[in-house]
């Protein structure tokens, strides 16, 4: 994962999902000229296939597409654990509201017609935001401290008895704080990709962790359930 990221930052790889040839080619020309590697796909099914098939730095996603629309592309990508920033290309302003309302979908949107320079600025911004947070330092919430360097969780200044897995779980939440993590994404980050862990196992570990860090485990303040999706850490 780390090697892939390093490789990708040399020349950003952008997947353009757009069925209008003029727009697609214009984007390809401009983005290639500015040092990106660009691949174009023209329908929703191909977008899901290519989006999950390889690591991308950014996905530009049109909404009105053959086969399935941009929203129906976003959802399966996210539930497959793809964390690549997605910028939606929208033709209408009412679509923008829908994009911003997405719980775990797009990162940004631009309204057509857009200027290439504006789009490139947006691309740089989402790439900056998605750069992995440094896995270092001490994070505090309530009377707890998560010490990422010493791999230790402390409560009221004293190390608590947490398993390595619980530490990884809490670190993942701390680093993604404020964002909803789906159970699939939690499994990928904590147990590793291609591990066969059921949602129940995730829930059980969350319960254990809550008992160790929450002032009132039955009414959690930090490690919150998000119904039908997963969990969110709120500090």
**CA–CA distance from 191 to each of 9, 73, 87, 169 (Å)?**
26, 26, 29, 9
Nearer to Ca ion, 62 or 184 (CB): 62
Site size with Ca ion, rule: CB under 5 A: 3
* Site membership for Ca ion, residue 188 (CB under 5 A): no
Would you give the binding string for Ca ion spanning residues 16-45, x where CB under 5 A is met? ---x--------------------------
| Nearest distance in Å: CB 23, Ca ion | 8
For 207, phi and psi rounded to 5 degrees? -60, -45
Q: How far apart are the first and last CA of the chain?
A: 28
Pairing of strands 144-147, 152-155: antiparallel
User: 60 and 28 in contact (C-beta within 8 Å)?
Assistant: no
- Residue 50 CA from chain centroid, whole number: 17
Closer to Ca ion by CB, 89 or 127: give it: 89
Minimum CB–partner distance for residue 65 and Ca ion (Å): 6
**Region binding Ca ion by CB under 5 A among candidate stretches 24-32, 54-62, 92-100, 173-181:** 54-62
Three-state secondary-structure class, residue 141: strand
Given 31, 40, 44, 62, the residue binding Ca ion (CB under 5 A) = 62
DSSP string, 164-202: HHHHHHHHHHHHTTTSEEEHHHHIIIII-TT----HHHH
Least separation, in Å, of the C-beta of 113 and Ca ion? Answer: 13
Binding-site member from 43, 50, 52, 64 for Ca ion (CB under 5 A): 64
**Residue 229 binds to Ca ion (criterion: CB under 5 A):** no
Q: Which residues in this chain contact Ca ion in the complex, by CB under 5 A?
A: 19, 62, 64
């Amino acid at each position: 994962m780390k090697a892939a990221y390093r490789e990708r930052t040399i020349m950003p790889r952008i997947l353009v999902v757009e069925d209008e040839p003029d727009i697609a080619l214009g984007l390809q020309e401009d983005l290639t000229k500015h040092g990106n590697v660009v691949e174009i796909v023209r329908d929703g099914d191909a977008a899901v296939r290519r989006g999950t098939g390889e690591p991308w730095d950014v996905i530009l996603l049109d909404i009105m597409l053959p086969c399935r629309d941009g929203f129906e592309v976003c959802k399966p990508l996210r539930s497959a654990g793809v964390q690549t920033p997605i910028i939606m290309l929208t033709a209408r302003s009412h679509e923008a509201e829908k994009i911003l309302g997405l719980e775990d979908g797009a990162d940004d949107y631009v309204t057509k017609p857009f200027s290439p320079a504006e789009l490139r600025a947006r691309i740089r911004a989402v790439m900056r935001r998605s750069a992995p947070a440094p896995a270092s330092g001490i994070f505090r919430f309530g009377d707890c401290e998560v010490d990422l360097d010493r791999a230790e969780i402390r409560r009221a200044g004293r190390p608590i008895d947490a398993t390595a897995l619980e530490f990884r779980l809490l670190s993942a939440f701390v680093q993604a704080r404020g964002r909803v993590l789906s159970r699939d994404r939690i499994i990928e980050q904590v147990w590793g990709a291609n591990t066969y862990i059921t949602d129940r196992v995730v829930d059980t570990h969350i319960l254990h962790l809550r008992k160790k860090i929450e002032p009132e485990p039955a009414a959690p303040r930090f490690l919150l359930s998000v119904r039908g999706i997963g969990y969110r850490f709120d500090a």
